[in-house]
Each structure stands twice: as structure tokens, then as C-alpha cells.
Amino acid sequence: MPLHPEMQFLLAARDKAGAPGSDVAAYRRFWNAYAAATATPRPADMRVQDRNLAAPDGAVTIRVYKPGGGPGGPRPGILYLHGGGFMLGDLDSSDTTAWGLAQESGAVVVSVDYRLAPEHPYPAAFDDSWAALLHVARHGAALGIDPARLAVAGDSAGGNLAATLSLASRDRGGPPLRAQAAIYPWVGIPFDYPSYRANALGPGLTLESMLKFRQAYLGGEDTEDPYAMPIKAKDFAGLAPALVMTAELDPIRDDGRVYAARLAEAGTDVIYRELPGLLHGFLRARLAGPYCHGAFGEIARFLKERLA
């Protein structure tokens, strides 16, 4: 399918942000400018607070979003992991997506400012995300969260982390998760799958960028560690029910396809949605038109229903 018209919003934001640059610092400046060009201010009744939590390798900062209205008492909780190839992004660059999940699901969303590669390669991002999940499970009441109703959600690199947290939760005996939402996730399939060949040059995410991200996070090498590349897991049974959503014109589309297929083959409850005409990163266009907003709404409804 041709590029959907709502993707012009993302392409215009990229043009406004300028060239990514060749070094990490320049790439991060581009990413932050791109995120700012796609950002929307939070609703006035959205309560937001940054907190530092103790972790084995130092403090991890989280941002807690509590939507206005709704019933009193503890709400379900969603641990949200942002994208950016494990090399880019922070609480501010992912703010619009995080508050949108809180607003549309009615849950308390906890966004994690995990450490970034290449300064902090694997397992730093996973370790920080796991520490945040344990904190929410143990201290959810202080955040207004019912720890019996937890889900993980993430996009791109964050989709990888959502998948790996689901594996770790099963393997390590909890915290129990009601759901996982992996949105255009990178899970570690080989780079010769059809989507990598068909969409290698973008627009948007490219195969060249994916090679840089893997180099930064994993030293460019494959690994058999499923907490780095969740597709390497030996068993996909007993994982949290999943929504896996991908974009047709995305190099890593087939990562989501294969991950969803492995879940289904193992008997894990999974919904797979591939959206025609969309690019990697379409969550940033959720307010650009009805098509992307509908996709975002499907994610929020899935989480809301699973956390009810």
C-alpha cells in the first residue's frame, strides 16, 4: 500500500529536525528536535511526577502519569518503555505517548528513563526496566497503582523491553503481568528478512540505522540471550497476553510478525495487527488524524480490557 497521508506529519517533523548527524551526540540532538516537533502538551488534569528509585546499578528515574477523572482508589498500572534504538530518547521525548496511554486507558502510566547505549550497553536498559517493574509491583500503592493489575508496553526498542520483561516475569516468578503491548518491536530476527530488504532505505527508520543501534547495544553481535533478543527464547508459553502491532513500511515489521507467530504457536494469547501504509514510529502521529489515532486507541483499549 502507498504511504498513508498521515505519515506526512512524521516526515515533516524529520525535515524540521534536520539531519541526524554521524555521532551519538548529534543523533540525540536530532532525535530530541524530532520528538519536540511531534509533541503535544499534556491535558490540564493530568498529574505528573518524576521520581528516583533505587536500583542495583544506581538510581533510575521514572515519570508517573495519573489521568484526571475516573473512579477513586488504586488504578491499574502500565510500565511504559520508550523507543529510540536503545541509544536515543528520554522521559521528555516520549512524553506525548506516555500521557496518551494514561489518558486513553485510564491507568497510571510509569515511564522509565533507562540508561542508553553505547555508554551503557546491554544489559543496562533491561536491568533498569526490570528494577522499575519490581519497584512498581512492590510499592504500587504509593503510586496509586493496584499491583495486581500490571501491564508492560513499549514501542521499538521499548517493544523489545516489554517482551523481555514478560519473559523475565515468567522465568523469575513474577511480578505477574496481565498484558504486554509490543508496538513495532525489535526482537532480534536476522536482517535478511523481507521487511529489512523492502524497507531498507526508509523513509524514516532504515537498515543502516538498525545496524548502528545493534552495534551500540550489543556490540553488533548476535547473542543467544533472550533478555537481549527475545526471539531467542526457547519457550514462548506462559507469557502475558500480547498485542503486537507493526507498520507495513517498516524495516523491523517482520520482527513483530515472527514474535507474534512464536507466541501463537506456544499457545500464548496474542493479537497481531499490521497497519498498511504506516511507517515505524506512527505512535507519534496519533493526533495527526483518525487512522493513527484509531491504532493508538486499539492499544489503549487492549490494555484497559486486560487490566479491568
Report, as residue numbers or ranges, the catalytic residues: 156, 250, 280
Residues counted in the chain: 308
* E strands, the chain, in order: 47-53, 60-66, 75-81, 108-113, 145-155, 179-183, 242-247, 270-275
- Of 131, 81, 129, 125, the closest CA to residue 101 belongs to 81
CA dist 80 and 58 (Å) reads 20
Q: Determine the Cα–Cα distance for residues 164 and 235; give it in Å rounded to an integer.
A: 12
At residue 126's C-alpha, the angle toward residues 124 and 130, to 5°, is 115
Q: In whole angstroms, what is the distance from residue 211 CA to residue 235 CA?
A: 27
Residue 270, strand partner residues: 242
- Pinpoint the alpha helices (H) of 140-201: 157-171, 194-198
